[in-house]
Structure 1
Amino acid sequence: MNLNISSLGKYVWKSQNLAGYGYQQVRNKWVNWMMVRDVKRRRMSAENFLERTRVNALRKNDVLPVEIREIADKEIAKFELNTQPMRINNRCVITSRPRGIVKEWRMSRIVWRHLADYNKLSGVQRAMWG
Structure 2
Amino acid sequence: MAKKSMIEREIKRAKMVQQYAAKRASLKEITTNADLPMEQRFKAQLKLAELPRNSSATRIHNRCQLTGRPHAYYRKLKLSRIMLRELASFGQIPGMVKSSW
Name 2:84's counterpart in structure 1. 112
Aligned length: 100
Q: How big is each residue's C-alpha offset from its partner over 1:74-94, in whole Å with a ceiling of 9 and x where there is no partner?
A: 221221111001100111111
**What residue is the counterpart of 1:34 in the other structure?**
6
C-alpha distance in 2 between matches for 1:63 and 1:79: 24
Q: Does 45-54 or 33-42 show the bigger shift?
A: 45-54
Instruction: Between the two structures, name the one with larger relative contact order (CA 8 Å, sep ≥ 6).
Output: 2
Partner of 2:32: 60
Higher strand proportion (structure 1 or 2): 1
Contact 1:31 1:95 in 2 (8 A): no
State whether residues 100 and 109 of structure 1, in contact with CA within 8 Å, keep that contact through their aligned partners in structure 2: yes
- TM-score (structure 2 length as normaliser): 0.86
**What's the offset of the Cα at 1:31?**
5.3
Matched to 2:37, the amino acid is: P
In structure 2, list runs of 5 or more residues that go unmatched: none
Task: Measure the CA separation in 2 of the matches of 1:52 and 1:114.
Answer: 40
Q: Is the 8 A contact 1:31 1:94 kept in 2?
A: no
Q: Which runs of 4+ in 1 moved over 2 A?
A: 122-129
In 2, Cα distance between the equivalents of 1:51 and 1:123?
42
RMSD of equivalent CA atoms: 2.0
> Which is helix-richer, 1 or 2?
2
Residues 63-102 of structure 1: matches in 2 within 5 Å?
A: 63-102=35-74
Larger-gyration structure (1/2) = 1
Report the Cα offset of residue 60 of structure 1: 1.8
